[in-house]
Amino acid sequence: MDVLTFGESMVVFSPNNNGPIRHVHTFTKSLGGAESNVATAIAKLNHSVGWFSKVSDDEFGRFVINAIKAEGVDTSRVVVDKNRNTGILFKERYQRSNPNVYYYRKDSAASSLSPEDLDEGYIKQTKILHLTGITPALSESCRKTVYRAIEIAKENNILVSFDPNIRLKLWPVEEAKKVLVDIACRADIVMPGLDEAEILLGLTDKDEVADYFLSKEAKIVAIKLGAEGCYIKDRKEGVKVHGYNVSDLIQDTAGAGDGFAAGFLAGYLEKLPLNEIGQYANGVGAMATLVQGDMEGYPYFDQLMEFIGKKQGIER
């Protein structure tokens, strides 16, 4: 298996019209979750990937498993919890901004993940363990699970990939900084946004941010720069990779950062030069913003190659 990840996936209800949610009466159901977003995007890029979590023993739980499994992701280690609910997220959309989000995930099935839920033998099968900063924010047991997973990976020479994915609606900023910086310093691959790096480290210079993590355990750092693209640096070189101009942007960038992570990991697994890894990452992230929904815009490999100009499309 190329990549393994775990964390909470929620049922997302997106409004069918703009305005305050109290005036919205119809919604479209979809799936959302940083780790499952990464997993589905990687699967579509022809890499083997597994995702696990806990879900409820009801139709919402079945929807989550079925939606992720249908994209080619291994869900064999998902735990079904008969006593807890699957998390739910409602979006509230206005014309010219990303939507507001309302979480209903407290005491969810996924928030009860514990180190005992980890299948050590399963983790040993992967090349990269991908984690985000959302899971340790959910509960103390989730935090312990993340740290135990890192230990298992390190003991077995498995690379640890980390996207801070700061969610300040889930925990106080000071607590987030302490935990997320600590996890990032243990990771081999670190993928913060430049705005996240400023929150975590108080740094705004991309080289200083990259050098900070490279002075710890990181082998490579990818700093997301939004529409400008990204900056990737390892122990040998640093490369700025320009982003792609997206003119048909849907005003909901949820899933773009996860798409970036998936593209990056796919390029990294293929041992591409830094510039090409960045093109993969920027490309998947950009394409995510062209379609409504968190994961619906992720491309298949040939679609990505056409988007980034490495393959000629056939129109008719």
The catalytic residue positions are 258
**What is the spatial distance between Cα 163 and Cα 11, in angstroms, rounded to a whole number?**
22
Strand 49-52 relative to strand 189-190, pairing: unpaired
Strand 238-242 relative to strand 229-234, pairing: antiparallel
Measured in residues, the chain has a length of 316
| Contact (Cβ atoms closer than 8 angstroms) between residue 61 and residue 78 | no
Strand 54-56 relative to strand 229-234, pairing: unpaired
Q: How many CA atoms lie within 13 A of 12 on its CB side?
A: 24
| Contact (Cβ atoms closer than 8 angstroms) between residue 115 and residue 148 | yes
List C-alpha distances in Å: 249 to 98, 252, 262, 289. Answer: 11, 8, 20, 6
Look-up of token digits 């792609």: 244
| Contact (Cβ atoms closer than 8 angstroms) between residue 240 and residue 194 | no
**In this structure, how many other beta carbons lie within 10 angstroms of the beta carbon of residue 23?**
9
Long-range contacts of 172-177 (CB under 8 A, 24+ apart): 173/199, 176/133, 176/137
Pick from 271, 253, 247, 266: nearest CA to 193: 253
